[in-house]
Every structure is written in structure tokens, then in C-alpha cells.
Structure 1
Amino acid sequence: MLDNAFGVSGVTHVPDSSPLSRRRIIAATTIGNALEFYDFLIYSFFAAQIGRAFFPVGNDVGSMLASLATFGVGFLFRPLGSIVLGAYADRRGRKAAMLLTLSLMALGTAIIAFTPTYAQIGVFAPALIVLGRILQGFSTGGEVGAATSMLAEAAPNHQRGYYISWQMASQGLAVLAAALISFTLTQTLDKAALASWGWRLPFVVGMLIAPMGMYIRRRLKETYAREMVPDAQRHPESALTELAASHRNMLVMSTLIQAGSQITSYIFIIYLPTYAIVQLHMPAHLALAAVIVSGIVTFVASPLLGILSDRIGRKPLAWGSRILSIAVAIPCFHAMNLQPPMWALVLMLGGLAILAAMCAVGNYTLVTENFPAKVRASGMGIAQAIGAAIFGGFAQFTATWLIRVTGDSLAPAYLVIACCVISMIPLFFLRETRNVQLT
């Protein structure tokens, strides 16, 4: 039984109102989600080494583009994961789905960690890397909807913004862990060792930590499962059928709104170190040190922004983050090209991390709260996964390609501005959900 997790109408309730239980849900969801995103993101920190090992096309830029394209492949399979695993989460429960996603992520990470290089097994090497990225993308696509739904459903009505904000905080934790490990390796290993075997170590670490996440998640109480709702037999349609029939407009708007948060997260937080290393020829350890600060800022700022959204609403955060991102994109990239001192780079990346967190927290709360419980994991997960595939997964590749084609080092800033403008359109139509009772 699910400890009275829901009533006869299928409306979600908190399974245990004690502060200890709620803190456990936040901790378990955050730690598990951070592990998922760590495994998914660590690839981008070693894109250059992976490109030379598995995609030897004759020059570093070409290998880098091939490697970043493979990073993007994971995003293409996130929508499929969100459809399959989101429906599973709405039918069997958030906890069941979150255990499955972590297992799939560990498998994909293990494949990348132990695949021989192109020089050793030829074309099978890049094929296996792509397979590993497919499994990682499929897993992450299902993780976001299930984890965010559980956070929303466990929260008191007046604190949902705070609870949901831990979804973004966990991603900041993942960025921090990935950057710390990358920084340590670049400081302790020479280039030959890093290119030969050192880049594999972070994937091994992620694979080995996964069982801890599984243990933590097994101790959670379920917040919603359609199979356990008493009237489910009288309404047997699947979550996907109901989404298509009754929530199409919401799904479209929820997908478009992702443009802003995806582009700011992947350009401001993930891509800028690559930009600094490849385009500006900054030492890798300096760029990674700046990202460590971004991870810390994201982890700390996200819950505070969640509290703010509970005070002033979700839409003010969404509007403000996009307007500010548009205003600072060009000046920030221009400043980077002036080769700023380390303290200025750190300060700038910290500020951009706050904007990215602000945008994401507004997104997660608005989208999650606008879907009813029986389609929440599917709806939120599909919107986020498609948005990530279109606007996030290939953001680094597109930015690198635009610079190469146009010769304009500010091209990534124009990409940020365009996506933020696109993501403003749904804000005119989505309702404000602060203090709205979940259904």
C-alpha cells in the first residue's frame, strides 16, 4: 500500500507530513538526481579527449565537433525516455521509475567508461560510445519528470517552489562534482595520461556511486501511482492518451518555455568552459575552477530562488531571468574575449549561474504544477526532454559551429538571445501557479 498517498479522485496528497520524511524525500531525490546528471554531464567536460580517442577526423576542431554531436545524441533520446519512463512513473509510481532510471544510467556510463578506443577496435568504438549516450539520454528523460513530480507532490502547498527548486539544485551539485573531478585530474595528470586513460576515471566513479543512489531511493515512500487509484479501472486510458487528448496545448507551451532555461543552463554553465579552452586558449584548470564556482552558486541559489517563487510567484522569476539573460549575453561574451583576470571570470560565471538557476526554477515549477497528477510525470518529462533535445543538447555543438562558420566569437550570445525570446511566448498563456492546489 502507498500509505494513503492519494484519495479516491486521484488527487495527490503528502504521504507523510513529518519534517523528517519530507527532508528525506528532498535528500533522496536530490542525491539521486545529482548522480544522474553527473553521469550525463561529465561527458562534456572531457569532450576534447573523447573526440580524439573515438572520432579521429584529422584535426582537433573536427574531433571536438564529432564528440559534441555525440553528446547531443543523448538529448535526442531523452524524449523517448520521457515518454516510456514517464508513462511508467504515472502508472507504477515515481519511486519505481526513479529506481529504473538510475540503473539505466549506470549501464550507459559503464559502456562509455570501458569502451576501447578507435585505434583498438575501429568503428565499433564510436558506435559503443553512441550507445552509451543513448542509454544515458533515455534514462535522464525519464528521471526529470518522475523526480520533479515527487518533489511537488511531497511539498506543502505554500512551499512547492522551494521543494521543486531542488531539481535545479541537484543539477548544480552534479556540475560541481563533475568540475571538481575534472579539475583534480587536469591538475594531477599530464596531457598524455589524461588523453590515454585519465578521462575514464570520472565515468567509473559515477558508475560505482550509483548503488548508493539506489539504496537511498528504495527507502522513499511513494507519492502517486495511477495503478493504486481506486477509480483507475473506470478510466483506463494511459497517461499518453490523456496528454494527447486533453493537454496538447499545455504540452506545446511547456516545451517552448524550455528554450530559455535549456540555453542558459547549457551555454552559461556547461559550454563556457569549453569556449574558454578551445576559442580563447585558456588553461583548462582555470576554466574548470570557474565552473566549480558556478556549480556552488547554482546549488546554493536554487533553493533561495524557490523560496522567492513561493513569495512572489513563478512567472516573475521566468520573466525576469529571460530579460536579464538577453541583456547580459553579448556583454558577457565580449568580456570573455578580452581575456579577463581569473577573479572577473569567476564573478561573471557566478552571476550567469544565478540567471540560469532563476530561469530553470521558474520553468520547473510552472510546468510541473500545470499538469494534473495522473499525467504529471509524463507531461513534465516530455516537455522538458523535447525542449532539452531541441534547445539544450545541441547548444554546444551549434555554438561551436556558428563560431566556425561566421567567424564571430559572439555567435553563442545571439543563440542565447534567440532562445530566450522564443521562450517568452508561453509566458503570456501559462497561468500563475503559486499556492494553487495540485490536482
Structure 2
Amino acid sequence: MANTLEFFDFFLYAMFAAYIGRTFFPQGTAFGGTLLSLATFAAGYLSRPLGALTLGRYADRRGRRRAALVTGSLVTFGSIGIAVVPSFDAIGLWASSLVLMCRMIQGFAIGGELGAVSALLVEQGPANRPATGGGYQMAGQGVAQLLAGLAGLALVLYLPAHDLQVWGWRLPFAFAALLLPVQFYLRRSVQEFIPPSEGKTRRSLQEARNWLTQALCAIGMIFGGTVPTYVVVYVAAFGVSGGPPSPSASFATASAVGLATMLAGLIGGAIADKIGIGKVIVAARIATALTVYPVFALLSAYHSPIVSAAMISLVAALSALGGGPTIAFILRKFPARHRATGLAFSYATGVALFGGTAPLIAAAIARATGSGRATALYVILAALVALIAQARLERSPDHAMR
């Protein structure tokens, strides 16, 4: 639940990016809103690896629960800032700068969030069900996206467009900020079964090399999961071809994707613990690669919002099936004393390199080829890279999770 609340804060920015851009960035100038909007969007991802190393190391040294309390506080602080900062018309570039800072704080916190919370979920769960713990992490992200989408849909349907642009879009951020005490209560009540390593530990040169090799392979596996996720976000907002969907259709599709991600995350984790973690990851990546091109071709031919939501959710679900198992697979390749750092850095770097850039690459592919369905080729490439990285990482020994 606490993980859901934290990612809810982060997803809100993506859902309301258009309203935020018109509020905080100058319009109709050469320097303009476009450059600042892109910079703010990228900042949340570029600050993730730094947060992963800093907060992941803190989680490994001082405890996963302590790190989770820090990340929850920072993300909520960023949401408060976005909710209360005056518009560009009121304070000029100070508005743009403050929102950029809030976005970087959120990215820094999310960078350390996945490593600390995932390690906590998997380590405190039953020893024979590590993927189920990872599945809860993936399901929490799905619930967060579902709630953010529903919040946007409710505001679009019940508020006039002018009110939504002037003040309405701030309401979900203010609501998220009010939930900080709930986050603190939930995270403080969690029992931590693995004690954090105390003091400074020196790694041998060989251990450092092994850590780097494992992290690079893990980044390759994250590539296969994050590209479908962010391409789906792009398609939900801008469509495969033709004009973008209406705001209500976009928010409804995002909600459907969140629901599909939640269910698939839980199912994938449960199945993986029964038949094998590696098998479910391979099946999820192959199924995504085989499905994405026909789905995008269908969306190019039919522009029905219902068909679009269903097909995009299908791709998201197939990818999310492997999400929880991937988290568990990567976690068990790192020893406990730098497990949170290993996962956090791999995930944050993979998302920064391939997730944050996926909408831009998708748009570039569509423009270069003249066909939105060609974007599916990037998803297929990501799946192939992930399978190769998984095969290489499989050679590394597993470490005890308890």
C-alpha cells in the first residue's frame, strides 16, 4: 500500500504533464515551454541513478525500512511543491525552476525506492515465494497508475476545462501530500527480518567486477520491461497514428493499463514461484515481442477508444507478467549487504536510459517510417536484449534471500 502511495505521486506528474506545462512554463517564446517541459520530464529520470546509489547504499547499511521512510517523505515533498508553487504568470521563471527541483527530488527518491522496498518485500516474505514479493511491487505500481488515471478522469468529467487548467489539476497532488502520515504508519509497522550490515565494508577487486557485470546484465533485463511500459504510455497519450485521443480517453486508457498491470503483476509472481522464475520471464518477453506488432497494426486501422484501451492493456499485461519475477531474479543475484543498491542502480539506470527516452524514440521511429506501428520494433528489440541479458546473468550464483 505504501509503495502504491509513493508511485501515485510520481505517476500524477505524467498524467497531468500537459496542464503542468501550461501552468509553469512560458508559452510562445523561442526558449519556450517545450524545452523546459522536456528538461523537467527528463530530470525525474536523470536523477534516479544518483538516488539509487545514495539511498540504495543507505538501505544496505542502515536498513530497508529506514530508506523506505526517506523515499516516501521525499516524493511527498515533491508533490507538495508541485501543488503549491505559483504559476509562471505569477512569479516567472522561479515557477519553472521550483517545479524542476521538485521533479528532481521525486526522481531521486524513486531511484532508491524500488531497491529498498523490493528487498524488504522479498526478504520478509516466505523463502519459497520470492517472485510473489516482487509481484506485489509491480502490482503496487499498477494500482498507482490506476488511481492516477481515475483521478484525472474524474476531474476531466466533473470540472470545466478552465477550472481544471487553473486549479483543478493541483487537487490530486494535494491529496497525495495528505497521505504522508499513512505512508509513515505503514512503513514503520513493517518488520525487517534481515539486519542491515553495520559499518564500512571493503569489496575486493573481483567482487567489484562481479557486481558491475551483474548490474549491467540487470540493466539489460530492465530494458526489456521498461520499454513496453513507456511505449504504452506514449501510445495512450498520442495514439499509434493520427491525432491524439481526447483527455478523457487518455485517462481511461491509463486506468485500464494500471488495472492490467496490477493483475498481471500478481499473477506473474504467483506463477513464477510455482513453475520457475526464469521460465515466466522468458515467456513474458517472448509473448510481448510476438504480440506488440499485430496490436499496433490493429490500432492503426481502428481508432475506437475501447479497442485502443483493450489492446494497449494487453501489451502492458504481458510485459508486467515478467515484472515481479524479474525483480526477484535480480535481487537473488546480489548478496544482502549490497542487494538494495544493486537492484536500485540497475533499475534506475535502465529506466533513465531506456524508459525516459522511450517516448522520444517512439515518436522518432514513427516520424522516420511514417507508420506508428514501426514503434513495435523497438519493443521487440528490447525483449531480445532482455533475454540475452537474462541468459548471461543466469550464470551468476544465487544468494540466500533470508
Q: TM-score, normalised by structure 2?
A: 0.91
| Aligned pairs (5 A) from 1:4-403 | 31-58=1-28, 63=33, 66-227=36-197, 232=198, 236-237=200-201, 244-268=208-232, 270-276=233-239, 279-403=242-366
> May I ask how many residue pairs the two structures share in their alignment?
400
8 Å contact from structure 2 (residues 366, 372) kept in 1? yes
Helix, strand or coil: the match of 2:82? helix
Supply the distance in 2 between the matched residues of 1:111 and 1:289 (Cα, whole angstroms).
27
Do the aligned partners of residues 415 and 118 (structure 1) sit closer, same or farther apart at CA in structure 2, a change above 3 Å counting?
A: farther
Does 312-321 or 236-245 show the bigger shift? 236-245
Which structure 1 segments of 5+ residues have no match?
1-30
Supply the distance in 2 between the matched residues of 1:277 and 1:42 (Cα, whole angstroms).
23
Aligned residue type for 1:104: L
Supply the distance in 2 between the matched residues of 1:54 and 1:405 (Cα, whole angstroms).
31
Do the aligned partners of residues 278 and 182 (structure 1) sit closer, same or farther apart at CA in structure 2, a change above 3 Å counting?
A: farther
Q: What is the CA-CA distance between 1:219 and the residue it aligns to?
A: 1.3
Do the aligned partners of residues 357 and 247 (structure 1) sit closer, same or farther apart at CA in structure 2, a change above 3 Å counting?
A: same
8 Å contact from structure 1 (residues 318, 363) kept in 2? yes
Do the aligned partners of residues 330 and 93 (structure 1) sit closer, same or farther apart at CA in structure 2, a change above 3 Å counting?
A: same
Q: What is the CA-CA distance between 1:191 and the residue it aligns to?
A: 2.0
Helix, strand or coil: the match of 2:143? helix
Supply the distance in 2 between the matched residues of 1:291 and 1:240 (Cα, whole angstroms).
46
Supply the distance in 1 between the matched residues of 2:34 and 2:147 (Cα, whole angstroms).
23
Supply the distance in 2 between the matched residues of 1:277 and 1:402 (Cα, whole angstroms).
11
Q: What is the CA-CA distance between 1:226 and the residue it aligns to?
A: 2.8
8 Å contact from structure 1 (residues 48, 64) kept in 2? no
1:247-298 CA distances to partner (integer Å, 9 max, x unpaired)? 1211111111110111112222x32321239953322212322222221222
1:195-249 CA distances to partner (integer Å, 9 max, x unpaired)? 211111111111111221111111122233334xxxx56xx32689996354121
Question: Aligned residues: percent identity?
Answer: 33
8 Å contact from structure 1 (residues 77, 138) kept in 2? yes
8 Å contact from structure 1 (residues 90, 225) kept in 2? no
Does 150-159 or 418-427 show the bigger shift? 418-427
Q: What is the CA-CA distance between 1:187 and the residue it aligns to?
A: 0.6
Helix, strand or coil: the match of 2:26? coil
8 Å contact from structure 1 (residues 157, 436) kept in 2? no
Helix, strand or coil: the match of 2:191? coil
Q: What is the CA-CA distance between 1:407 and the residue it aligns to?
A: 4.2
Which structure 2 segments of 5+ residues have no match?
none
Q: TM-score, normalised by structure 1?
A: 0.84
Q: What is the CA-CA distance between 1:68 and the residue it aligns to?
A: 4.6
Helix, strand or coil: the match of 2:393? coil
The alignment yields a C-alpha RMSD, in angstroms, of: 2.6
8 Å contact from structure 2 (residues 236, 312) kept in 1? no
1:420 match: 383
8 Å contact from structure 1 (residues 91, 225) kept in 2? no
1:28-57 CA distances to partner (integer Å, 9 max, x unpaired)? xxx111111111111111111122222335
Aligned residue type for 1:413: A
